[in-house]
Structure 1
Amino acid sequence: MKAKKTLVLGASLKPIRYSYMAINRLVQKEQPVVAIGLREGTVTGITIQTGKPDLKGIDTVTLYLNAQRQEEYYEYLLGLKPKRVIFNPGTENPEFYKILETAGIEAESACTLVLLSTNSY
């Protein structure tokens, strides 16, 4: 599997959260990971940052924020110029799909954990 630098947006320090599991699985699959959440901390050696840090070389953004919470990140994510944004279950957002596709960024409704477990990430 080719390395795809992934931003986990909506990262949580709680092991029961899917974003937490996604960080673990990405690390296991040897994918480079950066994470942004509401609280700073560390998950599997990955530091969760807050705010909108200046990130470079992001291939994939995997979202763990509901549609309402995504709005404040539209411009930020467009500025990162990822190749694709994965909308995990519960994050579907037709308005943002259109904005991304207009900018030439793939919007994919999928589950990061399933994509990783089936080697189709």
Structure 2
Amino acid sequence: MKNVTLVLGASLNPNRYSNIAIKRLRDKNIAVAAVGLRKGNVLDVTILDKKQPLENIDTVTLYLNPKRQEAYYNYIIDLKPRRVIFNPGTENMEFVKLLKENNIETEIACTLVLLSTNQY
């Protein structure tokens, strides 16, 4: 898979934005990897419950509050994504600064809006 989007904070709950994002990304034929608290599947995407090495991650879209993000700083940087999207409620200027220092683009935006307006 090329140009994979990692949904970090993925949920099995169909009412959660991370779950909806997985479905919308797949609707647009975008390859998706997902990490959340519980293992399971959303469509053809397996949600992993642990940090695992992943390849070809182009975008990380965050659905974790800033405090929970701290445990993933090094993991995300080590994945070497092109960009990290901070969805509403995930804004974290400390992490933005760290990502920029590692030449990773950041975007404070809503993945669902980007997808619906063809700006993803």
Aligned pair count reads 119
**After TM superposition, what 4+ stretches of structure 1 lie above 6 angstroms from structure 2?**
none
Runs of at least 5 residues in structure 2 that lack an aligned partner in the other structure? none
1:35 partner SS: strand
Runs of at least 5 residues in structure 1 that lack an aligned partner in the other structure? none
Which whole-Å CA distance do the structure 2 matches of 1:8 and 1:117 have between them?
A: 17
Give the TM-score normalised by structure 2. Answer: 0.97
Stretch deviating more after TM superposition (43-52 or 93-102): 43-52
Give the TM-score normalised by structure 1. Answer: 0.97
Shift of 1:12: 0.1
Q: Which residue of 2 aligns with 1:89?
A: 88
Q: Which residue of 2 aligns with 1:71?
A: 70
Which whole-Å CA distance do the structure 1 matches of 2:77 and 2:11 have between them?
A: 23
Which whole-Å CA distance do the structure 1 matches of 2:91 and 2:3 have between them?
A: 22
Q: Which residue of 1 aligns with 2:12?
A: 13
Shift of 1:57: 0.7
Shift of 1:4: 3.1
Q: Which residue of 2 aligns with 1:38?
A: 37
Shift of 1:107: 1.0
